Amino acid sequence: VFADRSLWIWVGIFTALTGLPMMYFLGTLTGLARALLPMMGIFILSAYITAGRELEFSRLKSQAIINELTEINRQLQAYVAQVEELTVIDERNRLARELHNSVSQTIFTIVLTTRSAQILMERNPALARISLEQLHALSQSALTDMRKLISQLNPKTE
């Protein structure tokens, strides 16, 4: 009921109201001796009340901190999920660029070389052989590049 300062003011008032009448009616020393026990009870009860309030305040503050940390943890988990998703998207974009820059260009060259080999087969079969060798080398290069990209998609287990 009482706040911190008013509690101790009332403790002083109750102590005086307990001790002074006893000292007046029983004599200074005898009255003081008999009044000490109830006066100590007043102090102990007041200290108990103050300690209980402080414990309750600390418990409420701890609970507020726990709630805040729980919310921060939830937010961090959401951020981690977003970062993982962005990382996956970033990796997919990188692989798409590599496919376009290496394998796609090589396959386009294979298509052109195949067409030129077809034309040379009709006109000059000796030159067609050179085009077919180039076609074989390009195919091997595209296959190697594709295997590299596929191996990047599959995590290595040791």
Give the pLDDT score at 78: 96
Give the pLDDT score at 158: 47
Hey, what are 51's tokens? 């300690």
What CA–CA distances, in Å, run from 44 to 5, 9, 39, 60, 150? 16, 15, 9, 24, 77
- Tell me phi and psi for residue 157, to 5 degrees: -105, 135
Burial of 146 (C-beta count, 10 Å sphere; 0-12/13-18/19+): middle
Hey, what are 12's tokens? 């002083």
Q: How confident is the chain (158 residues) per 10-residue block, as mean pLDDT?
A: 74 84 83 82 83 91 97 97 93 81 82 86 85 87 82 64
Give the pLDDT score at 1: 58
Cβ(112)–Cβ(144) under 8 Å?
Answer: no
27 three-class SS: coil
